[in-house]
C-alpha cells in the first residue's frame, strides 16, 4: 500500500476512521471525506502525528457539485485514486406504516444516490488509469432482510445490484469491486433515533475487524479480486 491513494467516503464514522488508520500504517496516503469534518480532522491529526499521511476534505454525497469538486481536488493534489472505500450511509429501521416519508427519502438519497454520485465521479479517473479498487458496504441487509427494514434493505439491495452491474459493465477496465456484507458493527449507527432496535454493541463486530477485511480486499494482487465477504457476529448470524 506504499504511496497508494485511498479515498474513504464516510471518514467521520467508526469504520471509515478504522480503515484510515490501518491503511495509513501500511504506507498509503489517506483522504477522509466527510460532511461532518471535525471527527475526520481529529483522526487525520492523530494519523499525521504518528507519521502517517492523512488529508480531510468536505463532501455532501447527495450533491453532485460537492462530489465532483471533492474528487477533482483529490486527483489534482495527489495524482490519482487507487482505492475507493464507500463507508458512508444513513439508516432507518422502523415499521413501514410508521415511517416519515421525508426521513425515508433521505436514507435512499444518501445510500443509493450518494453511492451513485461518488462511484461515478471516482471511476471516471480509475477508467483513465485502467486500474482501481472499489469497496462497497451493502451490509448483511443488502443480502438478507429482517423485520422493519423495508426501506433500509431496499437501499442496501440497490447498492448490491448497482455494484454487480458495474462488474459486468467494467470487466475489461482493470477496476475491481468488493461487496462487504457485514452484520452488526459497533458504531454510532445504532445511536440514530430512526433505528428502532435494541442491540448489544459488545457482541457486535468492531470497526477494526471490518477495516482488516477492507484492507485485505484492497491489497489483493493484480491477478485476483475479492468479490464478496460476509462477516457477522457469531450471535447475530443470518443466512
Q: What tens digit of pLDDT does each residue of 109-166 get?
A: 999 999 999 999 999 999 999 999 999 999 999 999 989 999 999 999 999 999 999 9
Q: 158-171: per-residue pLDDT in tens?
A: 999 999 999 999 98
Residue 171 CA to residue 194 CA, distance in Å, equals 38
Range of the domain at 44: 5-236
CATH (domain of 220): 3.40.50.720
Q: 24-71: per-residue pLDDT in tens?
A: 999 999 999 999 999 999 999 999 999 999 999 999 999 999 999 999
- The mean of the pLDDT values for the chain is 93
DSSP per-residue letters across 50-65:
TT-EEEEEE--TT-HH
In this structure, the number of other CB atoms found within 10 A of the CB of residue 73 comes to 16
The Cβ-side half-sphere exposure at 225, using a 13 Å CA radius, reads 16
Residue 55: beta bridge partners?
31
Total structural domains in the chain?
1
Residue 167 CA to residue 163 CA, distance in Å, equals 6
The grid coordinates of residue 57 equal 476534505
In this structure, the number of other CB atoms found within 10 A of the CB of residue 144 comes to 16
Q: Are the C-beta atoms of residues 48 and 25 closer than 8 Å to each other?
A: no
Q: pTM to 2 decimals?
A: 0.93
Q: Quick one: which of 40, 51, 36 has its CA closest to 8?
A: 40
3-state secondary structure of 44: helix
Residue 31 CA to residue 57 CA, distance in Å, equals 7
Residue 219 CA to residue 88 CA, distance in Å, equals 21
Res 239: pLDDT: 55
Amino acid at each position: 500500500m506504499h504511496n497508494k491513494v485511498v479515498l474513504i467516503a464516510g471518514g467521520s464514522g467508526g469504520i471509515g476512521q478504522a480503515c484510515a488508520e490501518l491503511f495509513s500504517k501500511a504506507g498509503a496516503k489517506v483522504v477522509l471525506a466527510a460532511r461532518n469534518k471535525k471527527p475526520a480532522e481529529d483522526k487525520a491529526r492523530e494519523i499525521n502525528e504518528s507519521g502517517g499521511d492523512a488529508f480531510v476534505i468536505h463532501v455532501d454525497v447527495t450533491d453532485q457539485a460537492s462530489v465532483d469538486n471533492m474528487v477533482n481536488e483529490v486527483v489534482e493534489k495527489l495524482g490519482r485514486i487507487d482505492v475507493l472505500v464507500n463507508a458512508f450511509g444513513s439508516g432507518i429501521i422502523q415499521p413501514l406504516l410508521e415511517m416519515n416519508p421525508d426521513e425515508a427519502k433521505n436514507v435512499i438519497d444518501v445510500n443509493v444516490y450518494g453511492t451513485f454520485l461518488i462511484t461515478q465521479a471516482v471511476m471516471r479517473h480509475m477508467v483513465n488509469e485502467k486500474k482501481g479498487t472499489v469497496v462497497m458496504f451493502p451490509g448483511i441487509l443488502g443480502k438478507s432482510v429482517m423485520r422493519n427494514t423495508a426501506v433500509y434493505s431496499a437501499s442496501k439491495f440497490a447498492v448490491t445490484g448497482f455494484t454487480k452491474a458495474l462488474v459486468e459493465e467494467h470487466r475489461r477496465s482493470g477496476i475491481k469491486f468488493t461487496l462487504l456484507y457485514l452484520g452488526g458493527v459497533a458504531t454510532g449507527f445504532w445511536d440514530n433515533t430512526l433505528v428502532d432496535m435494541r442491540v448489544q454493541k459488545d457482541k457486535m463486530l468492531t470497526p477494526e475487524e471490518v477495516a482488516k477485511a477492507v484492507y485485505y480486499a484492497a491489497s489483493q494482487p493484480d491477478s485476483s479480486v475479492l468479490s464478496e465477504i460476509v462477516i457477522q457476529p457469531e450471535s447475530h448470524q443470518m443466512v
